[in-house]
Amino acid sequence: MKTTEWRQDSEYVALVSDLLAMPEVQKLADYTQHHHSNRLDHSISVSYNSYLIAKKHGLNTRATARAGLLHDLFYYDWRTTKFNLGSHAFIHPRVALRNAEKLTELTPMEKDIILKHMWGATSALPKYRESFIVSLVDDYEAINEFFGPAQLKKFRRWRRISLKQRILNQLEK
Ligand SMILES: [Fe+2]
Ligand SMILES: [Fe+2]
């Protein structure tokens, strides 16, 4: 997905500008997320694309945009740092939630979005449709970022159709 389009979307920017101005959020640019992206670009991309879907379906755009932006708010290299308490998939949403709570007040929905964004790899079911959206968009972005532009063309169309269908299935439940 396009990475700079969000800058022209004033409605989106108004929802996240206070968070984007924080050094704790900007610091995410120092971390590689997947092969072709840093963690800040990844977080903005997940946030913005989730926001667009939430908006289209008349859902909570503020919670989706803000929690989407904060969903990976952790400061370690997940490829090298290992934990005794559980897998990266289990631990990092909890770390991100704790870090996010230090920056801003979070609604129950925003907490659920951050905490459940690894749904699929972790078992706790999201409570809100907004949480499903962020989780699905996160999967999609991870694949895009991993493959990079060259290989991506082959996968993009198939993934877009597949993602859309999965989101629609969840929204219908
Ligand atoms: Fe994550
Ligand atoms: Fe993520």
pLDDT digits (tens, 9 = 90+) for 73-131: 999 887 788 777 788 889 999 999 999 999 999 999 999 999 999 988 888 899 999 99
The rounded Å distance from CA 1 to ligand 2 centre is 14
Q: Cα of 42 to ligand 2 centre, how many Å?
A: 7
**pLDDT tens digits, one per residue of 18-71:** 999 999 999 999 998 877 789 999 999 999 999 999 999 999 999 999 999 999
How far is CA 43 from its chain centroid?
5
> Per-residue DSSP letters for 57-122?
TT--HHHHHHHHHHTT---S-TTT---SSS-HHHHHHHHHHHHHHHHS---HHHHHHHHTTTBTTB
> Tens of pLDDT along 1-27?
556 899 999 999 999 999 999 999 999
Q: What is the pLDDT of residue 153?
A: 62
Query: What is the reported pLDDT for 150?
Result: 59
**Per-residue confidence (pLDDT) for residue 161, from 0 to 100:** 57
Question: How far is ligand 2, taken at its centre, from the CA of residue 44, in Å?
Answer: 10
Ligand 2 centre to CA of 11 (Å) is 23
Task: Quote the pLDDT of residue 157.
Answer: 58
Report which DSSP code applies to 37.
Answer: E
Question: For residue 34, what is the enclosing H or E element?
Answer: strand 32-34
